[in-house]
Amino acid sequence: DAGVIQSPRHEVTEMGQEVTLRCKPISGHDYLFWYRQTMMRGLELLIYFNNNVPIDDSGMPEDRFSAKMPNASFSTLKIQPSEPRDSAVYFCASSNEVARGYGYTFGSGTRLTVV
């Protein structure tokens, strides 16, 4: 099992550009989570999906952020337009119904820098 796979690992973009982050969860996991990590705010849950359906997006900071999960093996987090304050490390994590009380599996993250 390759674990949770995120791409790209690093992204540098100019303010105002669209940014798309990608995540492939572990096969068989039906929960997928997007987190953002910054020095100022720590680890924040942005949104999570169950069976490809968004369950709670209350952590999405603004309408500039959107997330989709078109199928069980792929999810995207899009920022449009991007701003310097969006610079952070974005993590994807996945779990299944049985395991979710026992902790999640995180991807390696995407470090986003908006200049």
Partner 1 sequence: GEDVEQSLFLSVREGDSSVINCTYTDSSSTYLYWYKQEPGAGLQLLTYIFSNMDMKQDQRLTVLLNKKDKHLSLRIADTQTGDSAIYFCAFSSSGGSYIPTFGRGTSLIVHP
User: Which spans of this chain sit near partner 1 (rule: CB under 8 A)?
Assistant: 4, 33, 42-43, 45, 48, 55-56, 91, 93, 100-109
Smallest gap from residue 11 Cβ to partner 1 (A): 15
How far is CA 92 from each of CA 16, 21, 34, 110, 115, rounded to the nearest angstrom? 23, 10, 5, 9, 23
The nearer residue to partner 1, 37 or 81, going by C-beta atoms, is: 37
What Cα–Cα distance (Å) separates residue 4 from each residue in 24, 41, 80? Answer: 6, 24, 24
Q: How far is the CB of 44 from partner 1 (least distance, A)?
A: 9
Q: Least CB distance from residue 66 to partner 1, whole Å? A: 20
